[in-house]
Structure 1
Amino acid sequence: MTGTTTVQVPAATVPSPDGRSLAHLPVTLFSSVMGLGGVSLAWRRAAHVYELPAWPAQGFLALAALTFVVVGTAYVVKWVRFPAAARAELRHPVRMTFAPTVTIALLVLATAGQSFAPGVASVLWWAGAGGHLVATVAVVSAWFGRADIVHGSVTPAWFIPVVGNVITPLAARELGSVELARFAFGVGVVFWVALLPLVLQRVLLHDAAFPEKLLPTIAIFVAPPSVAMLSWGALTGSVDDPVGVLLFSASMSFVAILLAQAGRLRRIPFAVPYWAYTFPLAAASAAAVAMAGARPQVVYDVVAVLLLGATSVLVLVVTGLTVRAAALGRICLPE
């Protein structure tokens, strides 16, 4: 028709009619690498303490590595094809705190894979350790400088970009720098102590509605003391001292609080935030196994075995649900 202009839009940039598009690929999917790799670390420690076979740790590590390749490739494609959407995710006041799951995934893979490919693991460790410190500065700078980050933006995921530094010491002696690990540990612990009251206030005082979809993130409370205990042991050579016992007690108390919420949490439909359960519980399992190895008493063994078994099943179930959701096109959807 005269006066009508037809605009040709490249097919690669057109989302599907129902909204599915790689532009909506969530960076939170990297938490799946953390969960799978974390269970590998827990089984690796259990194999040492209880003289178990190595294949469970190896199997979960293989799954974690494969997941990292798949999710990492998809996320790179997202940045190439939909850079505006990728940048918007990094600027989002809530989602930005999940972006450092990328560097944590690198550290977890490095720690879990140090026996199989120490050269590659060392590269991953340095990239993860250095990258996470950069992410810490970037996110905290945003918290300081942006007026759109308010009380309602606070979630337990705020621990990820700053307290995630306590993961660095786990394999520092074997793969990297103990001095850098000590620095990162200090940063992580100080920010955990600083943020814990703020995040607890957000969760416990209901003056701002907490999104139901994000309720699984309350499991993240378990991770800081669990990983801090393991890192303390890596730096000092023992978890059976006052600091190690204090951190272990905090870890198990948050596990108990999380289990007490099971009735409410199980009613939440499956979504990507389910992965928030996995790494914290895997870290708690590893912490329980480490304490059982340091204190050979039945109660510690029971807690360690129950946590490790339940977490392994949980991770496999969440993996299956994620694969099913991806096959049905329910992952890359707009919020």
Structure 2
Amino acid sequence: MTLQRLKWLEHFPIAMFTITMGLSGLAMALRAAEPVLGLTGVLSTAVFGLTLVLFFSFLVLYLIKLASCVRSVADEWNHPVQLALFPSMSISLLLLSALMLDSWAGLAHLMWLAGMVLQGVLTLAVVSGWISARAFQHGHLNPAWFIPTVGNVIVSFAGVPLGYIEISWFFISAGLMFWLILVSLVMNRLIFHDPLPERLQPTLVVLIAPPALIFLAWVGLMGRVDAFAHILLNVTYLFVLIVAMQLPRMLKLPFALTFWALSFPIAAATSASFTYAAATDSIPHQVIGLGLLFALCVIISFLAFHTIRLVISGQLFQPD
């Protein structure tokens, strides 16, 4: 394969896995909503199937990039923003394993094991990178930094049904600890330092994901909605409202792959709402879940349209 043919692949970004994160979140949210809407599961299954195909396609392409363009992968790893996106690969794998648990338990188990190990390795590697001799600036910190560490709580989504209770507790403990640390750092950066660059402003939506994911993991581990779960869900709603006030400004910005940061957090909040509604028979939370699901479908449609347009125009895989 000539260098010219590999040129586009050299710029195939790790951020592509945020697409499969978002679509996995959509499948998860649809599955949570289907009992309320009286649907059969066709929609969530279709989205899951598409996500599975995209994930393994992206994985193959990125492995080819790793084998043929090592320097490009190293540049992403050493980039203060893109470094945080590497665990989107393991998170996608963990989400897909949870989604396929009922249909293909054996394959789901293998995918969960691979995702769990990869998530643990990437978490340690990213955190080690953060606290090593590298000098990070305040401007490098952004909400995407939640992805490597808080993503640990997703391990429990399939881990608990598979019987890995202690492992699930370990990962949710790590995710909870780093959320408490990072939310203070990120809010300090947002309030007291320069505004986020335009390309990173969509990552503000990531603020919604940690409390929503921890809520889902906590309820899964505890088997009920307790006082801590109530707090987590309402913190999720607080961040939804804060981010909603910023959305009109964000949507005026030029489209980039970072806009996929809008999808997964909204999906997590949607699933959290339906999970709470199912556990407590709360009609208001069903209504909130339906509203968030509608917003999620609009957002995913917007993102898919603009991403496909970039692919067709050949502008998607360009030097950053």
The answer, yes or no, to whether TM exceeds 0.5 is: yes
Q: Does 1:28 align with 2:15?
A: yes
- Counterpart residue number, 1:139: 126
Q: Does 1:64 align with 2:51?
A: yes
Spell out, residue by residue over 1:153-179, the C-alpha distance to the aligned partner (whole angstroms, 9 max, x if none): 101011111111011111113235111
- The answer as to whether partners of 1:30 and 1:68 remain within 8 angstroms in 2 is yes
- Counterpart residue number, 2:2: 12
Deviation of residue 52 (structure 1)?
2.7
Query: Structure 1 residues 305, 209: CA separation in 2 closer, same or farther (over 3 Å shift)?
Result: closer
- Counterpart residue number, 1:106: 93
What is the distance in 1 between the residues matched to 2:37 and 2:113? Answer: 31
What is the distance in 1 between the residues matched to 2:178 and 2:316? Answer: 32
Q: Within 5 Å, give how 1:171-210 maps onto structure 2.
A: 171-175=158-162, 177-205=164-192, 207-210=193-196
- Counterpart residue number, 2:204: 218
- Counterpart residue number, 1:91: 78
- The answer as to whether partners of 1:13 and 1:82 remain within 8 angstroms in 2 is no
After superposing the two structures, state which structure 1 stretch, 276-285 or 127-136, moved more.
127-136
- The answer as to whether partners of 2:276 and 2:282 remain within 8 angstroms in 1 is no
- Counterpart residue number, 1:334: 319
What is the distance in 2 between the residues matched to 1:112 and 1:136? Answer: 23
Deviation of residue 319 (structure 1)?
1.8
- Counterpart residue number, 2:145: 158
Paired letter, 2:217: S
Paired letter, 2:141: V
Spell out, residue by residue over 1:244-286, the C-alpha distance to the aligned partner (whole angstroms, 9 max, x if none): 1100001111111111112211101111001101010000000
Spell out, residue by residue over 1:118-155, the C-alpha distance to the aligned partner (whole angstroms, 9 max, x if none): 11111111111121111111111111113332222101
What is the distance in 1 between the residues matched to 2:215 and 2:259? Answer: 24
Paired letter, 1:211: P
Spell out, residue by residue over 1:271-306, the C-alpha distance to the aligned partner (whole angstroms, 9 max, x if none): 100110101000000001111112333321211111
- Counterpart residue number, 1:244: 229
TM (norm. structure 2) is 0.95
- The answer as to whether partners of 1:126 and 1:176 remain within 8 angstroms in 2 is no
Deviation of residue 72 (structure 1)?
1.4
Q: Could you say what secondary structure the match of 2:281 adopts?
A: coil
Q: Does 1:312 align with 2:302?
A: no
- Counterpart residue number, 1:127: 114
Query: Structure 1 residues 176, 152: CA separation in 2 closer, same or farther (over 3 Å shift)?
Result: farther
Taking only the aligned residue pairs, the percentage that are identical comes to 33
What is the distance in 1 between the residues matched to 2:255 and 2:69? Answer: 26
Paired letter, 2:201: L
After superposing the two structures, state which structure 1 stretch, 184-193 or 53-62, moved more.
53-62
Spell out, residue by residue over 1:94-115, the C-alpha distance to the aligned partner (whole angstroms, 9 max, x if none): 1101111010010011111112
Q: Can you give the 5+ residue segments of structure 1 that lack an aligned partner in the other structure? A: 1-10
Moved over 3 A (4+): 48-51
Spell out, residue by residue over 1:166-196, the C-alpha distance to the aligned partner (whole angstroms, 9 max, x if none): 1111111323511101100000001100111
Deviation of residue 91 (structure 1)?
1.5
Q: Could you say what secondary structure the match of 1:13 adopts?
A: coil
Q: Could you say what secondary structure the match of 1:149 adopts?
A: coil
- The answer as to whether partners of 1:22 and 1:78 remain within 8 angstroms in 2 is yes
What is the distance in 2 between the residues matched to 1:128 and 1:146? Answer: 28
Q: Could you say what secondary structure the match of 2:101 adopts?
A: coil
The equivalent position to 1:168 in structure 2, one of 155, 161, 167, is 155
What is the distance in 2 between the residues matched to 1:148 and 1:266? Answer: 32
What is the distance in 1 between the residues matched to 2:51 and 2:162? Answer: 19
Paired letter, 2:298: V
Q: Within 5 Å, give how 1:246-325 maps onto structure 2.
A: 246-325=231-310
Spell out, residue by residue over 1:306-327, the C-alpha distance to the aligned partner (whole angstroms, 9 max, x if none): 1112202321331222122112
What is the distance in 1 between the residues matched to 2:49 and 2:81? Answer: 31
- The answer as to whether partners of 1:170 and 1:234 remain within 8 angstroms in 2 is yes
What is the distance in 2 between the residues matched to 1:322 and 1:15? Answer: 22
- Counterpart residue number, 1:53: 40
What is the distance in 1 between the residues matched to 2:297 and 2:8? Answer: 31
Which is greater in Rg? Answer: 1
After superposing the two structures, state which structure 1 stretch, 75-84 or 311-320, moved more.
311-320
- The answer as to whether partners of 2:211 and 2:232 remain within 8 angstroms in 1 is yes
What is the distance in 1 between the residues matched to 2:39 and 2:57? Answer: 30
Deviation of residue 24 (structure 1)?
1.2
- The answer as to whether partners of 2:215 and 2:233 remain within 8 angstroms in 1 is yes
